[in-house]
Amino acid sequence: MCVKIGIMKTLKEYLAEAGQNGSALGHFNISNLVQLRGIISACQKTGSPAMIGTSEGEADFIGFKMARAMVDAAREETGLPIFLNADHFHSFEKAKEALDAGYDSVLIDLSKEPYEKNLEITKSVVEYAREINPEISVEGELGYLVTDSSKIYKEKIEIPPESLTKPEEALKFVNETGVDRFAPAVGNLHGIAANEPKLDFELIKKIRAVLPSEVAMVLHGGSGIPDDQMREAVKLGFNNVHISTEIRVVYVDALRKMLAVAPDETTPYKIYKPVVEAVSAKTAEKLELFGCVNKI
């Protein structure tokens, strides 16, 4: 199915609608065209908007302008509302590089820096983005996730109480920086740990209650969170959810299986066909979970 739309709404409008109807916009990271094709296939099948993320490492590997061109081509060919986000950029300079390359959105993540430094640089990124285009969505993060990488951890990960976001600081940070999206630490982590994560639903309620209604709340580290917890988190106000590790896992698993059954195959598009299908299936599963099917 190829979905065609008329005048495309902005990312801010899609996030606002998600907040109003109790769903969440999915955010999926890519390192190459294969992942993007799988994600786009899922969005076509489900009629879902989505954000495509590149971390600093992913953006450097793909190329900032190349990432922009890939997403633009996908939007033109499908008519889908997909938006390119600079995910977890850790300096003003790198955020500026993404914004200058035409990214729709940026997450400036200085959550492990002192509060005042986080506040100052996040505010600077917001101001720079507004100068380029008021519709650019900027995300800030307060409280920190104890893991940095989207991978499988064989050990149990303990989350120290001091890493969690304080509601009163969240409100101050949002008001002073002017961010459009806010990412708190509420028991989530990057990657998949040996122990099941336990989101702090009472903390989520308190943070959502103090934030302005127009500020989207973002859940990072969505991979590995049990479905029941994810549904509750979306219900309580997370209207944007990030998935990376689970996409990487199905990608690598499908690639390994293909190479094992066809060791003499040398044609890349044939090798990657089951990989695209695996990424598409996992993405569609998450889009269903987030309640954002048929929301374009």
Quick check: is 87 catalytic?
Answer: yes
Angstrom distance (rounded) from CA 232 to CA 199:
9
Contact at 8 Å (CB) between 84 and 67?
yes
Residues in the chain: 296
Catalytic residue, chosen from 60, 72, 87, 228, is 87
Report the interhelical angle of 167-177 vs 115-132 (nearest 10°): 40
Q: Which of 43, 37, 38, 35 is nearest to 14 (CA)?
A: 43
Residue 261, Cβ density class (10 Å: 0-12 exposed, 13-18 middle, ≥19 buried): exposed
Location of structure tokens 């801010």: 12
Task: Just list the catalytic residues.
Answer: 87
